[in-house]
Amino acid sequence: MKTKKIILFASGSGSNVENIANYFKLRKDVTICCVLTNKSDAKVIERCNRLGINALFFNRQAFSKSNFILDMLRSLEPDLIVLAGFLWKIPEAITNAFPNKIINIHPALLPKYGGKGMYGMHVHNAVKEAKETETGITIHYVNAHYDEGATIQQVKTIVNPKDSPEDIASKVHLLEYEFFPKVIDELLSKQ
């Protein structure tokens, strides 16, 4: 049996990275090669240290001004590249090199509340401000445009009038923890 390889990209806390790592911890058929981050002080690095996961920081030069990350990804031959709270746009050279192999999670029901600048609490604040009665998660393929690739799965949750943006964030995170690893697992099993 060939071991399936995942590469994760993250920019922040990395709670999704930790959740995905825990989900696959006992699985011999799936391995997390490494976590790549564009923030040298991202909390995700501490989590990787604790979990014993390879973590690497890269800058703009390596990511989009040269082919360094592209070449590294190619040499690692991942089955899936997973953006888990990663905030830079993926360069076209990378999306072209990995068609249908890069997925992202967005903390809202795209196409609502997507696009540049719409991440993390910015999304939940906007949902609250618009008095939405529901929000959720969108797991989608990544193309060269922010938050526009084909949807793989959306899951909704109710927003109550009393919910603060933080309450909304908690509800959305719970959905992320439940559904993101399962979707990754399903996609890997189809490869």
CB of 71 to ligand GAR, least distance (A): 25
Q: Is 110 in the site for ligand GAR (CB under 6 A)?
A: no
Q: Is 14 annotated as a binding residue?
A: yes
Under 8 Å CB-to-CB from 186, ≥6 apart: which residues? none
Distance CA 10, CA 41 (A): 12
Residue 16 known to bind ligand: yes
Whether 106 is a known active-site residue: answer yes
Interface pick for ligand GAR out of 8, 34, 85, 102 (rule CB under 6 A): 85
Q: How far apart are the first and last CA of the chain?
A: 13
Active-site entry in 106, 122, 140, 173: 106
Query: Looking at beta carbons only, is 16 or 95 nearer to ligand GAR?
Result: 16
Q: E-strand spans in the chain?
A: 4-10, 30-37, 55-57, 80-83, 102-106, 134-141, 151-158
37 vs 64, beta carbon nearer ligand GAR = 37
Q: Is 59 annotated as a binding residue?
A: no
Tally Cβ neighbours within 10 Å of residue 191. Answer: 10
Give min distance, CB of 28 to ligand GAR, in A: 25
To ligand GAR, the closest distance from the beta carbon of 159 in angstroms equals 15
Q: Minimal CB distance to ligand GAR: which residue?
A: 85
**Separation of alpha carbons 56 and 191, rounded Å:** 26
Query: Can the peptide bond before residue 161 be classed as cis, meaning omega within 30 degrees of 0?
Result: no
**Which residue has 């699985």 as its token pair?**
27
Half-sphere exposure of 39 (CA within 13 A, CB side): 16
Is residue 15 part of an annotated ligand binding site? yes
14, 136, 149, 181: which one contacts ligand GAR (CB under 6 A)?
Answer: 14
* Contacting positions for ligand GAR (CB under 6 A): 10, 12-16, 84-85, 105-107, 119-120, 123, 173, 176
| Positions marked catalytic | 106
Q: Which residues are annotated as a binding site for (6R)-10-formyltetrahydrofolate?
A: 60, 104
